Amino acid sequence: MNLNLQGLVGWVTGATGAIGQAICLGMAEEGVQVAMSARDLGRLEALADAIAEATGHRPAAVRADLTDPASIAGAVESILKAHGRIDLLVNSTTAPVAGPFEKLTDADWEAVWQTKYLGYVRTLRAVLPHMQRQSYGRVVNISGGGGRQPSPMHLAGGGANAAVNHLSKGLANAYGQHGIRINVVAPGPIESERLQMMATTASVNPSSGVTPGQITSSPLGRTGQPEEVADAVLYLLSDRSGYVTGVVLPVDGGRLPTV
């Protein structure tokens, strides 16, 4: 299926995570001019080299700290200087902490909200005016199943994900008239270092009532792969989803037990 993304300019935040890497690779395979950002420029450059070897298209590595508005402004300026526009934005950062409620400090909660929710707010604030001027834009925000199904081990991250869902739906309504579509992909248990970290945290905190198996299981009997999340993101970025905006799309193997 031709997604007709060739030549578009896309920015992916949180690019060095497992899901972010898969999204960057998938976009490059589709011919998108990809700008990747994260805090670690060395890891970004290594990822850019790997994607170039696999696809023949080398993404730009742009350091950005989503907790710092000046850093975000610098990243946007760099992308615009190189390409003149930003057509696609994918926010793919993760909540940096998990654990039982009684063990989370104020600093833990603050870190989650600064990195995940306010980080997305800042990138959207920086990019949407440019998309509005060009009357074209596609945004996909990565949240997570915890935004709709609370878990005792993931309350801080789940709360931020719920806020991301709320933000995205509201902005989809506001910006649709400007040719901008905004959607959310909510992954379930996806094979990654983060998933293993959460399973380990559950195993050493049995009083939480959450087992490692509950963290990693799905009705399909397996964890998901980062590439399966990337496929959903690419669909929402493409015109194949031209009448889809303001949705929260679970990619969770049927894990979310709601209608």
Q: pLDDT tens for residues 193-220?
A: 775 666 666 666 776 666 766 667 788 8
Residue 166 has pLDDT above 80, yes or no: yes
| For the chain, domain boundaries | 9-251
Q: Tokens at residue 90, please?
A: 């994918």
Give the C-alpha separation, 174 to 155, whole Å: 29
Give the residue from 199, 185, 188 showing the smallest Cα distance to 256. Answer: 188
Residue 102 has pLDDT above 70, yes or no: yes
Average pLDDT, rounded, for the chain: 92
**Amino acid present at 211:** T
Give the C-alpha separation, 199 to 216, whole Å: 7
The winner for highest mean pLDDT among 175-184, 200-209, 218-227 is 175-184
Task: Please report which confidence band the pLDDT of residue 121 belongs to, taking 50, 70 and 90 as the band edges.
Answer: very high
Residue 209, pLDDT score: 62
- In a 13 Å sphere around the CA of 173, the CA atoms on its Cβ side amount to 5
Residue 190 has pLDDT above 80, yes or no: yes
Residue 151 has pLDDT above 70, yes or no: yes
Residue 53 has pLDDT above 80, yes or no: yes
Q: Classify 9-251 by CATH class.
A: alpha beta
Q: Give the predicted TM-score (pTM) of the model.
A: 0.92
Q: Tokens at residue 63, please?
A: 């350091």
